[in-house]
Amino acid sequence: MTYLIKHKQLSNNYFIINRKVQLFVLFISLLLPISPFAQTDEYTIKIVLLERFTRFIEWPEESAISDTSQPFVLGLIGKNPFGSKPEDIYSTRKMRNKKVKIRYISKLDEIEGCHLLFISKSEEKKLSKILSFTKDKPILTISDTKGFAEEGVLINLYLKEDKVQFEINESAVRESGLSMSYMLLKTGKIVNPAR
């Protein structure tokens, strides 16, 4: 009987580990080469990556992330580089098992309630104000502008050798109250290690 219980526990553990590995491989498969001339392809990959990142992030309970009756709020601040892709993709796809609500943000107070905030390059001059608003809040900030991770954006996407890659500000992640999977931390380039 003890053997059967232990075998079942091992099988369950194997399933959980195997599922995490499958998710990780799926995530990494998006970091494939893209044509430098295909701007559309680059931003399709980036908008899909936003959802992939959420699979490796844990929000605190007070963010109501587990309440599937409430939407996952994806905020976009600044000039929209994605065009209609957010609506096209997330009208049928979910994030964290929740319907996705796209919020186009023009004022700082509209950030309140976002789970994920994509910060456009056009917000470079306002970046410190945006980050002072999101600091210490469980909001996953993502950008695709050089230097934004060093300034405090949690994840920054960039192109290297025609591949979409990402860097992580680990200290800013810790301050945000979000928990990031070890697998994600090992895959991204760390720009500001937590101490």
The answer to whether residue 8 sits within a structural domain is no
The answer to whether residue 113 sits within a structural domain is yes
Both tokens assigned to 106 = 């023009």
What average pLDDT does this structure show over 2-6?
42
Residue 6 has pLDDT above 60, yes or no: no
Q: What share of the chain is helix, strand, coil (3-state, %, to 5)?
A: 45, 20, 35
Q: What is the pLDDT of residue 28?
A: 52
**21 Rama sector, left if φ>0, alpha if ψ -120 to 50, beta otherwise:** alpha
Model confidence over 36-53: pLDDT tens digits? 444 447 899 999 999 999
The answer to whether residue 18 sits within a structural domain is no
Q: What is the pLDDT of residue 7?
A: 42
**83 Rama sector, left if φ>0, alpha if ψ -120 to 50, beta otherwise:** left
The answer to whether residue 100 sits within a structural domain is yes
The answer to whether residue 101 sits within a structural domain is yes
What average pLDDT does this structure show over 1-24?
47
The answer to whether residue 119 sits within a structural domain is yes
* Strand ranges, E, within 9-62: 57-58
Confidence class for position 12, pLDDT limits 50, 70, 90:
very low
Model confidence over 50-60: pLDDT tens digits? 999 999 999 99
The mean predicted confidence, pLDDT, of the chain is 84
Number of domains in the chain: 1
Task: Give the CATH number of the domain where residue 159 resides.
Answer: 3.40.50
Residue 25 has pLDDT above 70, yes or no: no
What DSSP element (H or E) covers 87?
helix 85-90
Supply the pTM of this predicted model.
0.81
The answer to whether residue 12 sits within a structural domain is no
| Beta bridge partners of residue 163, listed in sequence order | 33, 160
Domain that holds residue 95: 31-190
Classify each residue of 24-56 as buried b or exposed e, where b means 16 or more C-beta atoms within 10 Å of its C-beta: beebeeebeebeeeeeeebbbbbbebbbbbbbb
Instruction: Select the more confidently predicted residue: 182 or 35.
Output: 182
Q: Which of 172, 166, 137 is nearest to 46 (CA)?
A: 166
The answer to whether residue 9 sits within a structural domain is no
